[in-house]
Amino acid sequence: MKPYIKKLIEVKNKIVLLFVIISIFIMSIETFNINDKNIITIIFITNILINIIFISDYIVNILLYRNNIRKYVLSFNGIIDLLSIIPIMIPSLSYMRTMRTIRLLRIIKLFKNTKLNNTITLFKNTLKDSKDELIMFGFMMGILTYISSYVIYCVENPVQPDAYKNIFDSFWWSIITLTSIGYGDIFPITVIGKLFTIVLALISMGIVAGPTAIISNALRVSINKNN
């Protein structure tokens, strides 16, 4: 590929990324109840411009891969580019909510930035290197979650049948407690339940630190390899 073509592609990608950011901004503005006709007109025109840019980007990319279109169309970037223009190809207003949801996929186009791609590749390799440890940790987390869910169900269900109706309600409580989120929508009121919650909350500190330490160590190793 000739140098000037590469330069043009870089400029095109920067323009697309700019319009992705503009698209995100417009999507946010559209959530407001706007009655000003001038603002509505600006949003409408901007959306048309965004659609033209995204469709043009997809067509240009296909032309760049004209010798192997299948490679681009089936690649990650190709699929994201296609999904980002799907809302434009759905004319029925009955699909408006679906269209708005699909438009969120345009955000993924931000990751086509070269620097971000390198960072994502590094993080992907880090997860791959620590896969076995993370799987084992997840397995232990699953066992602990089920055990704690069953215990709290047996303890709290007799006194709070509406809060802890079944094991799945208890499972929700267990996940929220183990991750240290603690919404407070359901909570134990028995002495045994409270004591069990305290123990589980203390254990959750190690659970949060566990995968963080594993990934941090693997990331450090990956960075050292790259250097």
Residue indicated by tokens 């990331």: 219
Q: Identity (one letter) of the amino acid at 49? A: L
pLDDT of residue 146: 93
Q: H helices of 30-75, where?
A: 37-64, 69-73
pLDDT of residue 95: 47
Q: Any residues with CB less than 8 A from the CB of 80 and at least 6 apart, and which?
A: 105, 108, 109, 112
Three-class SS state of 156: helix
pLDDT of residue 64: 84
Q: Do 223 and 129 meet the contact criterion of CB atoms below 8 Å apart?
A: no
pLDDT of residue 15: 87
**Other Cβ atoms closer than 10 A to 102:** 17
pLDDT of residue 89: 64
Separation CA 23–CA 49 (nearest Å)? 10
Please give the structure tokens belonging to residue 105.
Answer: 């996929």
Q: Do 160 and 189 meet the contact criterion of CB atoms below 8 Å apart?
A: yes
Distance of CA 41 to the CA centre of its chain: 32
Question: Could you list the mean pLDDT of each consecutive 10-residue stretch along the chain, which spans 227 residues?
Answer: 76 85 85 86 89 88 84 82 73 52 67 65 79 84 91 92 89 87 84 91 80 80 72
Separation CA 211–CA 213 (nearest Å)? 5
Model confidence pLDDT, tens digit, residues 178-211: 887 777 788 899 999 999 999 988 888 877 777 7
Classify residue 164 as left (phi > 0), alpha (psi -120 to 50) or beta.
beta
DSSP, res 161? T
pLDDT of residue 93: 42
Question: Per-residue DSSP letters for 107-138?
Answer: GGGGGGSHHHHHHHHHHHHHHHHTHHHHHHHH
| pTM (whole model) above 0.85 | no
Separation CA 63–CA 9 (nearest Å)? 12
Q: Is the dihedral of CA 35, 99, 74, 80 positive or negative?
A: positive
pLDDT of residue 158: 92
Domains by residue range for the chain, with CATH: 3-112 (1.20.120), 127-226 (1.10.287.70)
pLDDT of residue 54: 86
